[in-house]
Structure 1
Amino acid sequence: MFDVQEKSYNQFSLEMLADILSLPKRAIETRIKKGELRACSEGFIDKTQVQHFPEVRSFQNSTWDEELKVKPVRPFSLVELFAGGGGLALGMEQAGFKSLLLNELDKHACSTLRYNRPDWNVVEGDISKVDFTSFEGEVDVLTGGFPCQAFSYAGKSLGFEDTRGTLFFEMARAIKEIKPKVIMAENVRALLTHDDGKTLETIKNVISELGYSLIEPKVLKAIFYKVPQKRERLILVAIRNDLYPKADFKWPSAYKRVMTLKDAFEQGELFDSDVPVSCGQKYPQRKAEIMNMVPQGGYWRDIKDIEVQKEYMQKSFYLGGGKTGMARRLSMNEPSLTLTTAPAQKQTERCHPIETRPLQTREYARIQTFPDDWCFQGSMSAIYKQIGNAVPVNMAAALGRSLVSLLNSIELKK
């Protein structure tokens, strides 16, 4: 029988290699046509052909196992803003942090946090109403994935005052009141280019204004951190100026290989059992009939009947662009596409690779590397939303271990 796991160690599919190298799949296909790469009959590229790429070497030179052994030299504390359903908080807990406060507006997400961690101090409600002054000088790390609202540039300083009315302003206020040793903020990759880079420039200015030195922001791909999903997050890490000379920060190491949906859904390296059955959205009858025509890893263009393509796509059929998310069926031997807040949205379809149905909520959770005993509260749509918006737990834990190492370096140089 074909051993997918063995393949994932020694070979890359064209799509997986494209994701690792941040290239379109057609760029890999072009290199094959030119003879720069050789694909085997099954369409895989042997790793020995591409090991000169730094991204590929990062798997071969992994120090993941050594980083797993990193422990805090003393208990390190955490305040998290915009905590959602707990992906980042859970990963940070696994790395060794103790949460002092988690703030979240969504009532269902707060119920999830309280249900799973009754001892956590979950403050539900509008962040602008939260007073953080009692935590001044008591917090090692402040984290948060602030929503990237539209920023106004009416002022000239492009600093703290110019962010008023945004949720980033409230995060900046919390930093000002708490004065944590380290800040870690996460956001979508698009923040890099939002408003021609002015938004990120403003954020950098505010961090500097607050008395912190920013590590150069980096986009992390979840597939490098034992997460079976092609998700990207922009990570910002900043260290308080008085501690910066003592600090030693390193980004987390890549894991040894890329995880796939097979790893998420079946007993193995990621989970000790097959994925349990859970609630999930259903397709209407006609949509199910059409989705049944899409092969594993395919999308609407792979439906052989062009009239069915037109029926499904309607006006979009005649517009430009690939629209590769429409009528998309995932592949068991690839990581999942980035999860959204619902698996059956027409533009970002997430159909099960083998069964003709949207991904169920527990499958969603496994793709985000939540453990099976992490129970989400609320309606089915609320659960999808919490999982879809989360930071993948394994990636959060890897970042958490990097922050533990950073704080250890500061402690040891005191």
Structure 2
Amino acid sequence: MNTHYAISLFSGAGGLDLGIEAAGFVTRLCTDIDDFSCKTLELNKSRQHGTFLQEATIAQRNIKEYPTEEILKDAGLTREQVDLVYGGPPCQAFSVFGKRQGINDPRGTLLWDYIRVIREIQPKSFIFENVAGILTVDDGRVFEMLKAALETDESGKKCYNLSSALFNTAAYGVPQYRQRVIIYGVRSHEAIPLPVETHYTQPDAPIAGLLPPVTVATAFKGLPDAPSNVIANHIGRVHGPAVIERYKNMGYGERDSKTRINRLDPNKPSYTIVVGSDKGGGKGHIHPFLPREVTPRESARIQTFPDFWEFTGTSRHPIRQVGNAVPPLFAGVIASNLLRYGFGEADAPNYAELVHRLGLSYLE
């Protein structure tokens, strides 16, 4: 496979980055405004257990104050060398859990900084990721404006061919029902096809030719009992007797009226991980077998982060990093599809190869 260089915007804790590098891209710059996310990227880059992000500069910057020329300089790339720019501007402005203010939310304007970088670098391709809520803000007008801006330059000339869809990550082997919008943009190439689903999503409704969904029980396979220092981020919240008693009496799929999280069914994928607000509140769901919330590490398993990927910070910081991320395995599927159809790389990895490259032995 040829070397394809990438730049990551709004990198967070590296979910997209892990998958995109597992597919075969080489990321030369990761940037985010969040201190703990950048520390997580630096920590994991510095370790010698793998090859992820080994060529990447980690830049803690506010994208609104990060000129494109500096982005290229920090990446050590010319415009002509950039094969891919990828990222998902913070989704709070569009999430169904938010106030749905769309572009009136100051964070919504980060969309236009993403567009600015695309227009000024003019990479061979881009991947835009966001929450399902972006499709319906202002009755869909924001999404149509976004696509129109992404496919054109400042003069209105068409530069990119787009393909987009709303994906359920469980259909691609992630042990979690999680909806995400993906937009591909490619230059000098017709719009690429979308990835083909590899798994059916409802355990009791098999589909011929597809694999069964990956379940919570599979995701937790081999984990030591919590709390544990054997593996990073595997210490959870301490619950009082009343909470423990309440959780103990809940059935699979039942929602707790106070915490508004669900008891996981071990025989199904997980519910979407709850991120919480900027002030905290992020949490996993309730363990399928024990009267407690899942630990950040268990949530990371649900998200398909490798066990060696450690999240920095204390208390709410790791779970917010995990919950905000794109599942690396899903990111790998998206990026491999781009390599195959956008760059003609016939040997781009399939699902099983991505699982192996990401070190997800519990899924093999």
Q: TM-score range by the shorter chain?
A: 0.7 to 0.9
Determine if the alignment matches structure 1 residue 230 to structure 2 residue 174: no
Determine if the alignment matches structure 1 residue 382 to structure 2 residue 317: yes
Determine if the alignment matches structure 1 residue 335 to structure 2 residue 263: no
Counterpart pick for 2:67 among 120, 131, 153: 131
Q: Scaled by the length of structure 2, what TM-score is found?
A: 0.75
In structure 2, the gaps of 5 or more residues are 47-53, 73-77, 94-100, 200-210, 229-233, 347-364
Counterpart pick for 2:162 among 209, 212, 215: 215
Q: Equivalent residue for 1:84?
A: 12
Q: How does 1:38-117 map to 2 (within 5 A)?
A: 73-117=1-45
Q: How far 1:177 sits from its partner (Å)?
A: 1.7
Q: Rate the CA distance shift 1:107–1:206 in 2: closer, same or farther, 3 A.
A: same
Q: Rate the CA distance shift 1:187–1:164 in 2: closer, same or farther, 3 A.
A: closer
Q: Equivalent residue for 2:352?
A: none
Whether the 8 Å contact between 2:275 and 2:282 is mirrored in structure 1 is: no
Deviations 1:78-113 (A, max 9, x none): 111100000100000100110011111111000111
Whether the 8 Å contact between 2:275 and 2:281 is mirrored in structure 1 is: no
Q: Equivalent residue for 2:354?
A: none
Determine if the alignment matches structure 1 residue 260 to structure 2 residue 207: no
Higher Cα radius of gyration = 1
Determine if the alignment matches structure 1 residue 402 to structure 2 residue 346: no
Whether the 8 Å contact between 2:8 and 2:27 is mirrored in structure 1 is: yes
Deviations 1:354-402 (A, max 9, x none): 1001110110110000110111111131000000001011101111110
Q: Rate the CA distance shift 1:283–1:93 in 2: closer, same or farther, 3 A.
A: same
Q: Equivalent residue for 2:148?
A: 205
Q: Equivalent residue for 1:357?
A: 292
Q: How far 1:140 sits from its partner (Å)?
A: 0.5
Whether the 8 Å contact between 2:163 and 2:193 is mirrored in structure 1 is: no
1:244 is aligned with what amino acid?
Answer: H
- Tell me how far apart the structure 2 counterparts of residues 368 and 293 of structure 1 sit (CA, whole Å): 27
Whether the 8 Å contact between 2:164 and 2:194 is mirrored in structure 1 is: no
Q: Equivalent residue for 1:37?
A: none
Counterpart pick for 1:284 among 237, 240, 243: 240
- Tell me how far apart the structure 2 counterparts of residues 385 and 347 of structure 1 sit (CA, whole Å): 6
Structure 1 runs of 4+ with >4 Å offset: 150-153, 273-276, 345-349
Q: Rate the CA distance shift 1:366–1:132 in 2: closer, same or farther, 3 A.
A: same
2:221 is aligned with what amino acid?
Answer: E
Deviates more, 1:97-106 or 1:215-224: 215-224
Deviations 1:315-371 (A, max 9, x none): xxxxxxxxxx835211111111000126xx999871111100111011011000011
Structure 1 counterpart SS, 2:342: helix
- Tell me how far apart the structure 1 counterparts of residues 6 and 295 of structure 2 sit (CA, whole Å): 32
Whether the 8 Å contact between 1:326 and 1:346 is mirrored in structure 2 is: no
- Tell me how far apart the structure 1 counterparts of residues 305 and 107 of structure 2 sit (CA, whole Å): 35
**What is the RMSD of the two structures over their aligned residues, measured on CA atoms?**
2.7
Q: Rate the CA distance shift 1:284–1:195 in 2: closer, same or farther, 3 A.
A: farther
Q: How far 1:131 sits from its partner (Å)?
A: 2.3
Q: Equivalent residue for 1:251?
A: 195
Counterpart pick for 1:186 among 129, 136, 159: 129
Counterpart pick for 2:327 among 384, 392, 395: 392
Q: Rate the CA distance shift 1:253–1:359 in 2: closer, same or farther, 3 A.
A: same
Deviations 1:228-278 (A, max 9, x none): 0000101111112xx124x654424424220001110114xxxxx668741
Q: In percent, how many aligned pairs have the same letter?
A: 30
Count residues in correspondence: 299
- Tell me how far apart the structure 2 counterparts of residues 116 and 152 of structure 1 sit (CA, whole Å): 34
Counterpart pick for 1:142 among 77, 81, 85: 85
Structure 2 counterpart SS, 1:184: strand
Q: How far 1:288 sits from its partner (Å)?
A: 1.7
- Tell me how far apart the structure 2 counterparts of residues 359 and 165 of structure 1 sit (CA, whole Å): 31
Structure 1 counterpart SS, 2:139: helix
Q: How far 1:285 sits from its partner (Å)?
A: 2.4
Q: Scaled by the length of structure 1, what TM-score is found?
A: 0.67
In structure 1, the gaps of 5 or more residues are 1-72, 154-162, 268-272, 301-311, 314-324
